[in-house]
Structures are given as structure tokens and as C-alpha cells.
Amino acid sequence: MKLRRHLLSLLAVAAGLGAFTAPAVAADYKAEYRMSLVLGPPTPWGQAGKMWADMVKERTQGRINIKLYPGVSLIQGDQTREFSALRQGVIDMAVGSTINWSPQVKELNLFSLPFLMPDYAAIDALTQGSVGTKIFQTLDKSGVVPLAWGENGFRELTNSKRPIKSPADLKGMKIRVVGSPIYSDMFSAMGANPTQMSWADAQPALSSGAVDGQENPLFLFTVLKMHTVGQKFVTTWGYVADPLIFVVNKDIWASWTPADQAIVRQAAIDAGKAEIAIARKGLVEADKPVLKDIAAMGVTVTSLSADERAAFVKATRPVYDKWKNTVGPALVKEAEDAIAARKK
């Protein structure tokens, strides 16, 4: 009898020790978490999501498994509804665009102010400084947990009609824009006819000629071979850049242990840094090999001179001033100061 009690007590101790050594997994962990993306691999945006998911699975030893849903398929392709769906729990996590979320979070329109950011150092001055911290605080108050920055890149102009060197060249041209009002304002100010549509609708519209052109980072041009849908002219003007943000739904975040939260956060930071390097590859080098690749497709590439760029800045300045009040004058001033002080 004593032996039996002794054995039972040893088993209890062993079980207690096991509780400390086994990985702590909350009872309400889901078998799979849904990550929303507008673009999947092989784009840099899609790679951001894949790298994050892979790192999290490996570092949590499979406790957190993430499935990618590119094409914002969880909300039928309506990318401007993504942020609302995140807050509502339809989406568990996302690598999302500041542009697509700007209708719900007005401060994110900062990155869409025309010609605010002249170079990559300017983007970094915002995302990696006090401005980025304040935007993350705003997102947290808006109902999601922001973890890290990625990058979609500078948005360049393509069309099927002619080289664009001045606002006059855009007159009457039908340009597909994202569903954020500031883009309609900008292209209207330059004399174009902006047409709002999701990216899912944009590709067939370009093919059919329903729209003449569009604006997006240049990786999209090469990955999707956009010269095959009539886009024969590219203008590099760097009028806006689109950072990406790695976020998690607040309820999902709260369901994870602090240790797993730390793993997910660090994985987002690591994936973001790696993705930014991928997004900039071929564009930060002196000879800009991406532009050479596009020209080799039979596309006319136009890079604006300082005077030509100044004409676009002047045409869009009323839009800048209007939206400065929407974003918040203090935040815009802080951004302008950070850019002026950046290390080039």
C-alpha cells in the first residue's frame, strides 16, 4: 500500500514537472489562422505574407499555423473593406496597404500626399521614426495590433496611349485608381479621368481598353507582364509610396500566450525587413536594372526631369493642402520635418 502511494506521488510530481516543460498552448488556439493579402507570391507583398507565416510556424513549433488568402478573397476582392473585416474578426491577420486602409484610418492618407516622399530615405524617416510610432498608436486604438512595416513601393504611372511628361499629357486619359478618394482628387487635378476599381477588376479593364492606364509599383509590371495588356508607356515620377503594415486582430492576439505574441511580433519585423529589401531590389541601384528589364519588353520608359516633376507637384498642391487637414496638420508637419532631416 505504501509502495502504491509512493508511486502515485512520484507520478504526480512528474506530471507537475511536465506542466512546466511542455509548450504552453492556450485551449482556444485555432487550428488555422487566416491571413489576408491583396497580392500573393511571387510579388514582394505576397512574399511578405509567406515569410511571416513560415517563420511563425517554425518558431512556434507548429502551434500557430497560418493560411494565406491572396486577392483579399476572404472579402470577395474588395480591398478597401479589409480593415473593417480585420476589426470584425472576419480576417485574423494581414499584411495590408496604407492606401486600402486609409478610408477607415484617415492618418494613413499621409503616405498618399502627392510628392511628400522624394526617395526611399524619406519613407524610412517616416516609418522608422516618431511618425511611424504615432501611426501604430492610432491603429492600435482603431482595433488592430500593428507589428511591423513592409513596403509595396513607389507607385509609377503606366498607360497605353503616349509618354507622360506633363499634366497636359494626362488630359482625358482614363486611369484606374484605388478606391481611396485622394487618388481621384489627384488625377482629376492633373486633368485625367480617374476610375476607381479593385485590382481584380483592373486587369480585364486594361486588357479591353476600358481604362487607358494605372499606377502601381514597378514589380507588378514585370511580374504580371503588363505590356501584354496594352501598357506600352511607363513614367517614373515617385509621386506616392505605399508602405505595408503587418497586423493581427485584437481578439486573436489576446488569445495567444505572451511568449507566442513575442514570436509573432519578431517574425513580422524580420519578414518586413526582408520584404523591403526585395521590394527595392533593382530600383535602388545606380543603373536601376528593373527599368532596363521593362524597356527590353518594348516599353517606352520616361523618367521626369526636375522641372517636369515640378509641374506635377504644382498641379497637385491644392490636393496636398486639402488632405493635409484630413490627415492632421500636426502629423503632416512632423512628417515634413522628419523628411527634411533625413540622412540621404
- Per-residue pLDDT tens over the stretch 140-199: 999 999 999 999 999 999 999 999 999 999 999 999 998 789 999 999 999 999 999 888
pLDDT class of 15 with cuts at 50, 70, 90:
very low
Question: Does the fold of domain 156-240+287-340 match that of domain 29-152+243-280?
Answer: yes
Name the residue with cell 476600358: 210
Give the predicted TM-score (pTM) of the model. Answer: 0.89
CB distance 123 to 117 below 8 Å? yes
| CA pair distance 182, 319, nearest whole angstrom | 8
Residue 94 has pLDDT above 70, yes or no: yes
Average pLDDT, integer, range 248-263: 97
Residue 10's pLDDT band (boundaries 50, 70, 90)?
A: very low
CATH of domain 29-152+243-280: 3.40.190.170
Residues near 304 by beta carbon (within 8 Å), at least 6 away in sequence: 165, 235, 236, 237, 312
CATH superfamily entry for domain 156-240+287-340: Bacterial extracellular solute-binding protein, family 7 (3.40.190.170)
| Other CB atoms within 10 A of residue 33 CB | 20
The mean pLDDT of 94-110, rounded to a whole number, is 96
Please give the Cα distance from 233 to 279 (Å, whole number).
Answer: 21
Confidence band for 272, pLDDT divided at 50, 70 and 90? very high
> What's the mean pLDDT when you consider all of the chain?
91
How far from chain centre, in Å, is Cα 214? 17
Strand 93-97 relative to strand 33-36: parallel, antiparallel, unpaired?
parallel
pLDDT score at 77:
79
Q: Where are the domains of the chain?
A: 29-152+243-280, 156-240+287-340
Instruction: Give tens-digit pLDDT for 32-87.
Output: 999 999 999 999 999 999 999 999 999 999 999 999 999 989 988 788 889 999 99
